[in-house]
Amino acid sequence: MDKDWTKDLEHDEYEMSIDLIITDALQAVEETKKGCYVNLVTAERFGNPVNYLQPLLEELYTNNVNIKFINQCGCGGYVLRVWKI
- Quote the pLDDT of residue 32: 97
Separation of alpha carbons 65 and 43, rounded Å = 22
Report the candidate in 26, 24, 30, 12 with the shortest Cα–Cα distance to residue 54.
26
- CATH assignment of 5-84, given 3.30.110.40, 1.10.486.10, 3.40.50.720, 3.30.70.100? 3.30.110.40
- Quote the pLDDT of residue 72: 85
Specify the DSSP element, H or E, that contains 51.
helix 49-52
- Quote the pLDDT of residue 76: 82
- Quote the pLDDT of residue 22: 98
Instruction: Delimit the domains of the chain by residue range.
Output: 5-84
Are 40 and 73 in contact, with CB atoms under 8 Å apart?
Answer: no
Q: What is the pLDDT of residues 33-85, one digit of tens each?
A: 999 999 999 999 999 999 999 999 999 999 999 999 999 877 789 999 999 99
| Predicted model pTM | 0.94
- Quote the pLDDT of residue 40: 97
